[in-house]
Amino acid sequence: MRTVVRQGLVAPAIVAAITLVAWPVAGPEWALATLAAGAASIIAWHLYNAQRVLDWASGALDGRVPESRREWGDVFSAIYRRTRLRDAQQRDLQHILMRFRQAAEAIPDGIVVLDRNQRIEWANPHAVAQLGLDLEQDVGQPIVNLVRQPEFLRYLDTGDYGESTMVPSSRAPGHTLALQLVPFAVDKKLLMSRDVTAMEAVSRMRRDFIANVSHELKTPLTVISGFVETLQDLDVDERQRARFLQLMHEQARNMQRLVADLLTLSSLESEQNALVEERFAIVPLLLSVSSDAKALSRGEHEIALDIGEAASVIGSRDELASAFGNLVSNAIRYTPSGGRITLAWRIDADGGGVFSVSDSGIGIAASHIPRLTERFYRIDRSRSRATGGTGLGLAIVKHVLLRHQAQLDITSEPGRGSTFTARLPARRIERLEASEAASDEAAHPAP
């Protein structure tokens, strides 16, 4: 500043000096004329540069800073340094903003930036997809014009944003979104959106599971409790006593089967229960499953076993035996007496193992097939209880196959029977040589 003042005083000093010299030499008229001309020149110079500053300040933000000499040169140089510093800071801010937007775009949740009047300023791609926004048209629009679910409007009216609110998705029927407002800065808000459909499904399954287990245990416990009270309060004859005890025993066995299946399912779902893999021959397992099927059927069904090609399987023999056994027992329960049940094993064109159970039973409507592997899902609850099913067999099958990277296919037609097919991946199947297959069959003859 002192340099500018000194430089600014040079021109007035020169004019004053010339005026003083001209006074005695040329007279006061010329001296005053010289003073006036010098002052006018100095004023014009300063006004000219001031106008240049005004023009620059009124122009584009990235306009070039003017150049000049003497004191105005220092002024323009100082302005130039400040603009360079400002540009550097703007670049840093733009870089920070770009990184923030990149981070916001990478977040799996939706993010919408709202102003003090809850108008949209920006949104990441997930919010655009989940809420159906179009940033080219919706920036500046109130969020309530675009998210019109009554639950969200009530949430805004309460002003309590400590928790999220659940709303149905208008873009994806059947999906649920969790929306929450998060105030930040002085007058800004973030609207966070998350697709919680899967979490809601898990929560619903947990509630249904608890309700179903309670219901399944309540029925046999009620029967047992009722018979116990009857035996305690009434004097019944030996025939009735034997009948009551038999019914109590059957209900106790039902509970035991249910508890056993629950423990099996819990073990299969546990992350700590790693799959114990071994190499075992499939033929002995198939013969064992076939033998159990005949024992369970008690001669009421025709049981056939068709082994296309012997092989070894890499996996858990006990788990696959449980899965195959559940498929067979399921077929027996839902096939009327005199029906036919076929157990088949083959190796497909891709080298994978295929175990199928076909029956001539009552069949299943197509609408029920996608839900058959859900816990406790029953098409006919009363019939399932009558046949002794726990409602967990196919859920166990599903989890066993998932642990073996296998899949379950179901085809059925009401009144014509069903086929349940377990497909094991090729990496778990090893074909046996003819000599090995022959020795295996000799060691395990068909029952």
Write the pLDDT tens digit of every residue in 359-413. Answer: 998 888 888 888 888 887 777 655 445 555 667 888 889 999 999 999 999 999 8
For all residues of the chain together, what is the average pLDDT?
Answer: 83
pLDDT for residue 67 is more than 70: yes
Give the tens place of pLDDT for each residue, 239-266: 888 888 888 888 888 788 788 878 887 8
Distance CA 198, CA 232 (A): 50
Which CATH number does the domain 278-443 belong to among 3.30.565.10, 3.20.20.70, 3.30.1300.10, 3.90.1640.10?
A: 3.30.565.10
Distance CA 320, CA 213 (A): 25
C-beta of residue 441 within 8 angstroms of C-beta of residue 433:
no
Q: Which residues of 188-197 are buried (b: 16+ CB within 10 A; e: fewer)?
A: ebebbbbbbb
- Average of pLDDT values for 94-120? 81
Give CATH superfamily name and number for 107-195.
PAS domain (3.30.450.20)
Which comes out higher in pLDDT, residue 343 or 434? 343
Banded model confidence at residue 289, pLDDT cuts 50, 70, 90: very high
Highest average pLDDT, of 117-126, 226-235, 431-440, comes from 117-126
What is 200-269's CATH number? Answer: 1.10.287.130
Q: What is the pLDDT, as a whole number, of residue 380?
A: 63
What pTM did the predictor assign?
0.55
Which range is least confidently modeled, 229-238, 326-335, 347-356, 392-401?
Answer: 229-238
Q: Where in the chain is the domain with CATH 1.10.287.130?
A: 200-269
CA proximity to 311, closest of 177, 432, 182, 142:
432
Banded model confidence at residue 440, pLDDT cuts 50, 70, 90: low
